[in-house]
Amino acid sequence: MSEEVGPEAVVLGEVVIPAEKISARVGELAEQISRDYAGRPPLLLGVLKGAFVFLADLARAIRLPVELDFMAVSSYGAATKTSGIVRIVKDLDTDLSGRDVLVVEDIVDSGLTLSYLRKGLLAREPASLEVCALLVKRGQQRAPIDIAYTGFEIPPIFVVGYGLDVGERWRNLPDIRAARGEGVELS
């Protein structure tokens, strides 16, 4: 059973990835994507809310006329452990059939959100479907994952910033930082 965590029970810890490092890595990913998708600009599919900062930076660094769309899924609610149940809160506006789709995710933890999303998106018959995830938590995946573009592998700790939240707070931090619960477990 997931536990609900109020933001007041959380304290910020060390910087795990500083803003300059994120920015350099986003540039490298964008370069790779620009090369791989030359002549077939992808539809960037941002998974809200966590991917909004990453997507904004990535999209602006890609040298192709990409299109953008958004999906919102909820796996945790206000809690911090995945339930394995993923709910689509906002669906896409775009028809995916025949499109080259690149899903842009903030963080892959258990991989359950991604594997659910992938199944649902493949049913819409895109020409191709790949994933770009800024962060992947090492050794945590409970479902097989196939990620074409990974920003950073991190240890299995709870992190906030650069779009990532706890209880909707700290998405606006420029760095990615550890977050610790006072009397509650976050990861």
CA distance 181 to 45: 32
Tokens of 168: 């909707």
Q: How far apart are CA 31 and CA 19, in angstroms?
A: 18
State which residue, 37 or 58, has the beta carbon closest to ligand IMP.
58
Interatomic CA distance for residues 47 and 43, integer angstroms: 13
- Is 109 catalytic? The answer is yes
- When binding is defined by CB under 6 A, the residue of 55, 110, 126, 170 that contacts ligand IMP is 110
Shortest Cβ 63–ligand IMP spacing (Å): 27
Among the residue ranges 13-21, 32-40, 62-70, 157-165, the one whose residues contact ligand IMP (CB under 6 A):
157-165
Q: Which stretch binds ligand IMP (CB under 6 A): 23-31, 62-70, 105-113, 123-131?
A: 105-113
Tell me if the bond preceding 49 is cis, omega within 30° of 0. Answer: yes
Backbone φ and ψ for 137, nearest 5 degrees, come out as -80, 125
CB-based contacts of 74: which residues, under 8 Å, 6+ apart? Answer: 86, 87, 89
Instruction: Quote the least distance from Cβ 51 to ligand IMP, whole Å.
Output: 8
Residue 2 near ligand IMP by CB under 6 A: no
Residues that bind ligand IMP (CB under 6 A): 50, 75-76, 82, 105-114, 158-160, 164, 187
What residues act catalytically? 109
